[in-house]
Structure 1
Amino acid sequence: MSDYDAIVIGGGPAGTTSATLLAEKGHRVLLLEKAKFPRYHVGESLMPFCYFSLERLGVAERMDEIGYQQKKSVQFATTDGRISAPFYFFQHFDHPAATTWQVEREHFDLMLLDNARSKGVEVRENTAALDFLKDGERVIGVRARTHDEDPFEVRAPITLDCTGRDALFQRKHGWRKRDPMLNKISIWTLFKDAKRDPGLDEGATTIAYLPGGGWFWNIPLRDGIVSSGIVAERDYLYRKGETRDPAEIYAREIENNAWVKDHLSQGEQFGEYWIAGEYSYRAEHCATDGLLLVGDAFAFLDPVFSSGVFLALKSGEMAADATHAALEKGNTSASVFAKYGEDLCGHIETMRKIVYAFYDPEFSFGKLIRAHPNLRPKLTDLLIGNVEDVDFTDLLKAMSEIAELPEPLTHGQPAATV
């Protein structure tokens, strides 16, 4: 007996995308979200190709109506304050998607959750999934609890784990495998009325370098707010015998980039300092019988190119399509999600290579483009999230001449089941 066709755990972009698209296909979908929205979340900068997922969800036109800060480019700042030529998306891509957005995730995620409700998804907030119901090794549903009420059980032929970095199934089954090289720490906070660049560059994401391979992000939001974060090695941020206070570390590092110092000196920090560490991982498997991992619940790469929300939305689409096909065939065994795992891992691997190149001390985008000016369009394709329609073989080969690129990870396919 099944209560629903699909259970989705998690109300972030991956969960709401999967749930909405499944409901639009006529499936009975239950979405469980442990928090009450709106709630704060980091990850404010959208890649241009997020547009196509948002368009499919029916919310793309609402983004400008809401008034999110428009983002037209990405730029890079050296430690002495010199800015690269911005990667203007519209110079490469003549499409409405060439203008994307910087969003407050508490508002953006609530919009997506409300959209799921409007499309027929049954949404239960303040409801935490506690564990997975199983028949042998097959997942057949979820045990959950709302507030302090008694736990309850719900069943479905397929459960989609979209629990973000909490990664419920990964954690309970020991599936998390950390990336062997991307062991970074992030500290971030918010500023009010910091300096903004003029004109087209007002909403640009700026990646500002720090000594030793670290970097700042600078993401302008609405209402004079800037999201500012540091990503670096643990030993760089937490130096032996020095402060471990995040505010003091932040003040110290602002002095190490002239562009950041200039822009933040005019602003006022407010709110808390958040910290996250060693967040680059991929699950050993993307699926088992009756269960599929989506978004950050499957993998998270690195914050440097703002791929988190993009991969959440993209994997949400892919998961919905794969799940719909499985439900239509009456088969939700792990093996039917092999193509989902192959395609998603392929997208992640392409982006993973450019992340590794970014952290290689011998690499710079300027060096790459000077040596191969003809490859700038493909580099821009990668930076905007056009990972399906472009053959990046020549770009990756050129990058490998400068930086040491990783071999593909072998894990991430469905679990072998009987």
Structure 2
Amino acid sequence: MKSEYDCVVIGAGPGGCSAAAITAQGGLNTLLVERESVPRFHVGESLMPETYWPLQRLGLNERVKESGWQVKKSVQFVTHRGTESAPFFFRQHDSRESSDTWQVERSEFDKMLFDRAAELGADCVDRTRLLDVDFDDNAAISGVTLKDDQGQQRNIKCQVVIDATGQQSFLANKLKIKEVNPDLRKAAVWGYYKDAVRGDGEHAGATIILQTENKESWFWFIPLSRGVTSIGCVGDNDYMLKGRGTPEETFLEELQRCPGLTPRLENATRLGDLKIAKEFSYMTKQHAGPGWVLVGDALGFIDPVYSSGVYFALDMGVRAGDAVVEGFKNGDLSGDQLGNWTDDFMKGATWVRKLVHAFYTKEFSIGRFMKEHPEHHGNLTNVLIGRIFDEDASQLFADMDESIAQAKMAV
């Protein structure tokens, strides 16, 4: 590490790595810092098809194709009674190559992104912890204080900090700009299984979302490479983690309540212990300021149900990186400049958030809604693909809101 950089990026997940790659490629002296050892484990293996575009910008699509990861061509929903929807095949909606995506091992995927940032000129260090972000008398960024794995503390001067610290949300907590959504306080318990029953043919790599009988929880089914499948259960935090025994007992109890999943695991073997995460949904009320900008989960987190996290992080990283490069070019490192992309991004993210709330409305059925409104099949597929920045993405929600209201009145 040098003692001074133009830009310091904290956190080497998809958001931080993509931002560092773009700023370094744009000629800025960039430092990328990760507190854990790279590669490191992370959940969130399923990509949205629109991930293709930020990966293309980073020059990584060919490497991803050659990685051997499971190709994902579809998603499917299974009701609390075990009834399976018709798969949503992305290429039926859009025949371009970008409609195929992947189920990735995040340790390998994130390492690929980390290495790409280094290739493009960023100084990339792991096992280095952020202790503080420093501001000058005008409330603008002046530097960061870091501590490496040898215990050495370093004060690094910089003009811009890109916060990609994930759910740690360092700057959002420091500046008290983080707002938790009380309606989406979830917890996840998950693990990995060998030889779970997958779909057939092109549907073999599908992400499958399965509801339990009482709709108090749902399971993800994400087929990875080498015959391994990620299986996770998500429900309200109190329901999953309080007063019901161990998380493993809760997981197994919910599994018995999931008629669509139990047959898929009859001959499967679990690999290792289960893992736990609190998936609280939150958003920041300010996304950028003088000399700083937030990306990825440091800016906000919605919910894991539609696998939007990695795509959102990559897209935000590219957008933020461009804004920082442009800011240095024009001599403008204000919050308005560094966050000039956030309004457009947040408008698109609204559609995913609305679909998440619809999913958690027990009285509402997406399958029934699609039977009533087949004209919205393409619009819904757009959201599942991640094509949320087109005006068409909004078209289905007027009818969906009305359908939700009617479903609630009928109970």
What is the CA–CA distance in structure 2 between the aligned matches of 1:92 and 1:217, rounded to whole Å? Answer: 23
What SS does structure 2 have at the residue aligned with 1:323? helix
What is the CA–CA distance in structure 1 between the aligned matches of 2:204 and 2:276, rounded to whole Å? Answer: 27
In structure 2, what residue type is equivalent to 1:24? Q
What is the CA–CA distance in structure 2 between the aligned matches of 1:239 and 1:130, rounded to whole Å? Answer: 33
What SS does structure 1 have at the residue aligned with 2:182? coil
**Residue in structure 1 matching 2:231, options 228, 231, 242:** 228
What is the CA–CA distance in structure 2 between the aligned matches of 1:333 and 1:2, rounded to whole Å? Answer: 23
Shift in Å, 1:336 = 2.1
What SS does structure 1 have at the residue aligned with 2:161? strand
> Does 2:73 correspond to 1:72?
yes
What SS does structure 2 have at the residue aligned with 1:212? coil
Show the counterpart of 1:149. Answer: 151
What is the CA–CA distance in structure 2 between the aligned matches of 1:213 and 1:356, rounded to whole Å? Answer: 14
Shift in Å, 1:171 = 2.2
- The count of aligned residue pairs is 403
What is the CA–CA distance in structure 2 between the aligned matches of 1:325 and 1:32, rounded to whole Å? Answer: 22
* Stretch moving more, 3-12 or 342-351: 342-351
What is the CA–CA distance in structure 1 between the aligned matches of 2:341 and 2:101, rounded to whole Å? Answer: 26
Show the counterpart of 1:297. Answer: 298
In structure 2, what residue type is equivalent to 1:70? V
* Stretch moving more, 250-259 or 290-299: 250-259
* Stretch moving more, 387-396 or 264-273: 387-396
Show the counterpart of 2:262. Answer: 261
Q: Is the 8 A contact 1:356 1:404 kept in 2?
A: no
Shift in Å, 1:379 = 0.8
Shift in Å, 1:45 = 0.1
What SS does structure 2 have at the residue aligned with 1:49? helix
What is the CA–CA distance in structure 1 between the aligned matches of 2:237 and 2:170, rounded to whole Å? Answer: 26
What SS does structure 1 have at the residue aligned with 2:260? helix
> Does 2:396 correspond to 1:356?
no
Where do 1:3-402 residues align within 5 Å?
3-136=4-137, 137-210=139-212, 211-238=214-241, 240=243, 242-243=244-245, 245-402=246-403
In structure 2, what residue type is equivalent to 1:225? V
Shift in Å, 1:57 = 0.6
Q: Deviations over 1:344-403 (max 9, x none)?
A: 221221211111111112322222222221111111011100112233332110111122
In structure 1, what residue type is equivalent to 2:172? Q
Q: Deviations over 1:21-70 (max 9, x none)?
A: 11111111111111111111000000000011111111111112111001
In structure 1, what residue type is equivalent to 2:233? I
Q: Is the 8 A contact 1:212 1:236 kept in 2?
A: no
* Stretch moving more, 120-129 or 146-155: 146-155
Q: Deviations over 1:91-137 (max 9, x none)?
A: 00111111100001001000110111111111011111110111022
What residue ranges of structure 2 are gaps of 5+ in the alignment?
407-411
What is the CA–CA distance in structure 1 between the aligned matches of 2:105 and 2:174, rounded to whole Å? Answer: 31
In structure 2, what residue type is equivalent to 1:82? T
What residue ranges of structure 1 are gaps of 5+ in the alignment?
406-418
Shift in Å, 1:404 = 5.8
What is the CA–CA distance in structure 2 between the aligned matches of 1:335 and 1:114, rounded to whole Å? Answer: 30
Shift in Å, 1:80 = 3.0
Shift in Å, 1:234 = 2.8
What is the CA–CA distance in structure 1 between the aligned matches of 2:321 and 2:216, rounded to whole Å? Answer: 38
* Stretch moving more, 212-221 or 36-45: 212-221
What SS does structure 2 have at the residue aligned with 1:140? strand
Q: Is the 8 A contact 2:320 2:339 kept in 1?
A: no
Q: Is the 8 A contact 2:344 2:389 kept in 1?
A: no
Q: Is the 8 A contact 1:207 1:217 kept in 2?
A: yes
Shift in Å, 1:229 = 0.5
Q: Is the 8 A contact 1:360 1:404 kept in 2?
A: no
How big is the alpha-carbon RMSD for the aligned residues of Structure 1 and Structure 2? 1.7
Cα distance change on mapping 1:404 and 1:102 into 2, 3 Å: farther
What SS does structure 1 have at the residue aligned with 2:322? helix
Shift in Å, 1:319 = 0.5
Cα distance change on mapping 1:235 and 1:161 into 2, 3 Å: closer
Show the counterpart of 1:413. Answer: none
Shift in Å, 1:278 = 4.5
TM-score of the pair, normalised by structure 1: 0.93
* Stretch moving more, 175-184 or 330-339: 330-339
In structure 1, what residue type is equivalent to 2:395? D
What SS does structure 1 have at the residue aligned with 2:84? coil
